[in-house]
Chain A
């Protein structure tokens, strides 16, 4: 048997992939790296020195770190008990609650921030309500610390589902007999958790923690809304307008990249490549047990109150979107649907929806084609450097969108792809690259679950490779492909950092950028923006629901590292 099977189409496609990734994944990063080291063609470390000496940047880096750490910590504290409740207990309505956890993800945190600001403002509904019933006599500054708390809350409410999915999966993957063995040895309670359960969960937990940390560290939209501007992401964003004069952004971008690599390296170094769940299982009883009715009530209370809090941004966005006027009153004084109408009348609002639709369709098509082909190569062929292809295709999962978008903008500045003139190609590509891992995973899972013998049976009966693919394989994995496609599409619709950075002309604004722009531009900004946010939200809910229908329980796998 040959070591590799490389037909001509495979070789051509692989070469194409190499070129694609070189141009749209590595070159932009490399470009930022080079730019950060040279001034007037001379090698210099000035920017890096400045980054760590200038109080402004010191502050920004420190703030971003704090944001990342606090968010990671808070999501951990939320999701650990949650995972224990939902993995270890059986109770009626469990799958419903499981689905409920994902709900907060359907709103980009910065849109939620718009509504939350209304609600928690100095004279927002919450304070007014508390004043009314006499609980307080001074309005509380909810988002104290110059907006820090506000950003953290929004990040936590948005990101705890991701943490939960990782933690719950790693908990569910623990062989129950490992805990039983510890109990048999006399261990119980917190000691059991500390010495056996948690160490076994570490790989999964770490994967989730890294995603959450990097996400909070690099999120651009939320700090902008809360005007918490002294963070790395906003500094990079600000530098875009005067990139030629202020190359600090390059250094900051490189810093973020290095940081990301460092964390992934750290997790590898600390945990090796330990995959505990791979250990052979014997006869095991299910680790989950029936919850008593008291426990069930407790679980429901915890879950519903958490989801209730997590839904506050959504509710507030909704309330804002239907308010005639909402000022100095607990609930809007008058209700109106006019802002929904305005979405279709306001030129920027309407064109942004059309724009987003177009961009998302193109990027989804690109994702499906690339994702299916890559997954096919990974699961069904023997090609050289398979591990590398796998790693590269998954890389965007770890890469902050901010970094990639910035790399695109600066790296292709002055070429025919210059986003300043016509951002559509780069927007499509950046959306596609960022969501490619989801598509690859969805397709990969499909190929893997479909026994290769089904294909071999067809081959044995004389069907050609293409025929098998079209008549046997695709019909079997179509659910995965559709689900992956839906996810790519909906996330592209609500992509934030790429849109904010790459779309620089009104007529090319996608929804998210338009929301951001409308906020500051017109008096009705927050109301109109909220109405647009509602559109996005509904779209994402429907998409996730559809994707869930197709993927079933495997849905969660797409959001895990």
Chain B
């Protein structure tokens, strides 16, 4: 088991930049997630870790060892492929045993370790089957056993659950998490499913267009998104634009809807900066009673109401025309109907003030 360090990794395909200045430190025994939309470079990064790609710049360290130019077969990583990549001409047993045969492990020890690995993923009874005779979930377990049986330094997972149906995915999520904790292995997991990352990860790196947008615990990246992209990509977000007023302690932003107070993570914020106030839909609360102007209170008109059982979603058109979303949990009664005028309040520690990147993005 080792920690993994990526230093200044850059990779391009022909003229397309796939990765740019990636710096990550993954601790020993950590369950680390690379999260991002398709094309963000997360799979490329994983394949650099596995050794299938060599970066144009930067270094990959396993512990203290520089493995940047070590070929894949000498890295001792265990990879679980998106399509499982089980060899169809070998049985389940042979698939799992393969890595041990390559490592010239004695027959006796092989038997023991393969059996253990298969038991660990509850596939022992399928040992003599061919991969084609297994369901997706079962193939997934075998692929996992194959990656773990060699006791790799690092386990690499390439969207391993994306080909499974929703229920199986939930089941496998717990299973993988249990295994990771039980074995204490360093595991790096690529996914585009934010829920997977939030549910399982110790830490998450959110990636955007070949760069790391934010690294942090799941709670961090959800409640304190560093950029608009992160806020947007993980969960739903309401955006209200405005200009920075006071900056001591809480930030006070003056918007068309009144003043909004919130927190910020970015440094060098100045009075007069154009910013976005981000608020999660579930942080908005319907205000009852007589109107009284106040900070962090906005008013608008309900456009749609969608009842989903455990939650109810309201679309509210604010007085300046922006549509925001409000989510009410445990909606035992309907708070408002389409057409009603409502007022919404939110706590200032649920507001994250972000730099308005629109101009900058256009420049890039």
Contacts and interface: CB of A to CB of B under 8 A. Distances in A.
Given A186-B102, A187-B73, A191-B102, A282 B83 contact: yes
B83 A186 contact: no
Interface string B36-58: 00000001000100111000000
A276 B89 contact: yes
Contacts of B159: 282-283
Given A181-B87, A283-B159, A187 B77 contact: no
A175 B83 contact: yes
Interface string A13-45: 000000000000000000000000000000000
A187 B102 contact: yes
Interface stretch (A195-203, A252-260, A453-461, A466-474): A195-203
Given A185-B98, A186-B74, A180 B88 contact: no
A26 to B, nearest CB: 35
Contacts of B158: 282-283
A301 interface: no
A192 B50 CA distance: 17
Contact of A180 (B75, B81, B98, B103): B81
Contacts of B86: 181
B150 interface: yes
Interface in A193-223: 195-196, 199-200, 202
A191 B158 CA distance: 25
Interface residues on B, range: 35 or more
A177 interface: yes
B281 interface: no
A184 B73 contact: yes
A276 B131 CA distance: 11
Nearest to B78: A184
B132 interface: yes
A283 B71 CA distance: 21
A186 B103 contact: yes
A523 interface: no
Given A200-B89, A276-B88, A185 B163 contact: no
B146 interface: yes
A188 interface: yes
Identify which of B76, B81, B99 gathers the most chain A CB atoms within 10 Å of its CB.
B81
Interface residues on A, range: 20 to 34
Contacts of A282: 81-85, 158-159, 162-163
A177 B83 contact: yes
Given A184-B50, A186-B73, A280-B163, A177 B85 contact: yes
B245 interface: no
Interface in B94-143: 98-99, 102-103, 132
A12 interface: no
Given A183-B73, A184-B73, A188-B71, A280 B79 contact: no
Given A186-B103, A187-B73, A188-B71, A280 B83 contact: yes
A279 interface: yes
A12 B73 CA distance: 61
A180 B71 contact: no
Interface in A266-289: 274, 276, 279-285
A181 B102 contact: no
Contact of A185 (B52, B84, B146): B146
A185 B99 contact: yes
Contacts of B79: 180-181, 184
B47 A285 contact: yes
A4 B18 CA distance: 53
B29 interface: no
B216 interface: no
Given A200-B88, A280-B83, A180 B52 contact: yes
Contacts of B156: 184
Contacts of B50: 180, 184
Contacts of B63: none
A285 B18 CA distance: 13
Nearest to B52: A180
B52 A285 contact: yes
A226 B195 CA distance: 74
A282 B190 CA distance: 14
A182 interface: yes
B89 A181 contact: no
A234 B232 CA distance: 78
Nearest to B71: A188
Contact of B88 (A188, A279, A283, A285): A279
Identify which of B84, B85, B159, B163 gathers the most chain A CB atoms within 10 Å of its CB.
B85
Identify which of B77, B102, B150 gathers the most chain A CB atoms within 10 Å of its CB.
B102
A199 to B, nearest CB: 4
A182 B98 contact: yes
B72 interface: yes
B81 A181 contact: yes
A280 B159 CA distance: 15
Contacts of B89: 199-200, 202, 274, 276
A175 B87 CA distance: 10
A177 B81 contact: yes
A538 interface: no
B343 to A, nearest CB: 47
A186 B76 contact: yes
A282 B89 CA distance: 18
A193 to B, nearest CB: 13
A178 interface: yes
Interface string A158-188: 0000000000000000010110111111111
A265 to B, nearest CB: 20
A314 B84 CA distance: 49
Given A184-B50, A185-B102, A281 B83 contact: yes
Identify which of A184, A202, A281 gathers the most chain B CB atoms within 10 Å of its CB.
A184
Contacts of A285: 47, 52
A192 B102 CA distance: 10
A202 to B, nearest CB: 8
Contacts of B85: 175, 177-178, 180-181, 282
A178 B98 CA distance: 12
Given A186-B74, A199-B89, A274-B88, A283 B150 contact: no
Contact of A279 (B43, B76, B132): B132
Interface string B143-160: 000110010000010110
7 contacts: A177-B85, A180-B79, A181-B85, A183-B71, A185-B102, A280-B163, A283-B82
Interface of B: 43, 47, 50-52, 71-79, 81-89, 98-99, 102-103, 132, 146-147, 150, 156, 158-159, 162-163
Top-9 shortest CB links A-B:
A282-B83, A282-B82, A185-B99, A177-B85, A181-B85, A188-B73, A186-B102, A183-B72, A184-B79
Given A184-B78, A283-B83, 18 more contacts: A175-B83, A177-B81, A180-B50, A180-B52, A181-B87, A181-B146, A183-B73, A185-B73, A185-B102, A185-B146, A186-B73, A186-B76, A186-B103, A191-B102, A276-B88, A281-B83, A282-B81, A282-B83
